[in-house]
Amino acid sequence: MDATVSVKTEPDNAVVTRDEWHDARLKLLELEKEETHLRDKVRAARQALPWVKVDKDYTFDTPSGKRNLADLFDGRSQLLVYHFMFGPGWKEGCVGCSFMADHFDGTLPHLSNHDVTLVAISRGTLAEIENYKKRMGWHFPWLSSNGSDFNFDYHVSFTEDDMKGDKITYNFREIPPSEGYEELPGLSAFYKNENGDVFHTYSTYARGSEETIGTLMLLDRAPLGRNEAQTMNFVKRHDEYEQKPDTTASSCCH
């Protein structure tokens, strides 16, 4: 991914009076309200999706030993799985997935206390995952599906034969392998009932989980927006930016 930033040197927005700005802002507000109402409609349709019972037994490597899918709920009824692009033999995780994962730790107390468990799952070995996780300073649960069909069944990992074929299935459509990688990102949701039955309720891929990335949502409200030449081409791993954030500064936002 090209991590260079394409910066606008001079925005071309009109400069108007406060009253003119207010009128323009009211027009935008109507659009924002439409977006909110549409988002509510999409959310309701998402939660009304039918479910599929998961009958296949998946095993994952975790720091506390082997666990199956039902174990990952950790006493809760809902499970969110982020399919993190980190394949066997990789030294670093995908830049975009790492950007996403930077937002996880702060959500954990809130999700956990709302009956939702969040984990990341990758095909890299647990040792590889733990090394990168330590480098990034993350604390969220990150498990290995190495040796399991999990990633393949949820269409985020692809075999060598898949990549040599005419097409792979990703984001609910068939694409040429040249448009993808052997590992791709996604987010899946599961529910476990009182009998211990597990159901697959939802999956989204590509830009489908973009709204969960708080940094992007904030940038969308900044004067220059995302200011990107390609999708997220400005993003680097957080320890690769030339100017590190000042972690010693005191702020009411901390």
Q: Which two tokens stand for residue 198?
A: 């597990």
Q: Which two tokens stand for residue 18?
A: 């406060």
> Is residue 154 included in any domain, yes or no?
yes
Q: Which helix (H) or strand (E) holds 184?
A: none
Query: Does residue 252 carry a pLDDT above 60?
Result: no
Query: Does residue 3 carry a pLDDT above 90?
Result: no
- Whether residues 170 and 80 share a domain: the answer is yes
Model confidence at 178, pLDDT cuts 50, 70, 90, reads confident
pLDDT score recorded for residue 231: 87
Domain count, the chain: 2
Domain range for 114: 52-211
Q: How far apart are CA 130 and CA 144, in angstroms?
A: 10
- Picking from 47, 65, 86, the residue at the C-terminal end of a domain is 47
The answer to whether the pTM exceeds 0.75 is yes
Higher-scoring residue by pLDDT: 104, 9:
104
- Whether residues 173 and 69 share a domain: the answer is yes
- Whether residues 57 and 30 share a domain: the answer is no
Q: What confidence tens digit (pLDDT) does each residue in 214-238 have?
A: 999 999 999 999 988 888 889 999 9
Pairing mode of beta strands 65-68, 78-83:
unpaired
We report the CATH number of the domain holding residue 195 as 3.40.30.10
Q: How far apart are CA 171 and CA 175, in angstroms?
A: 9
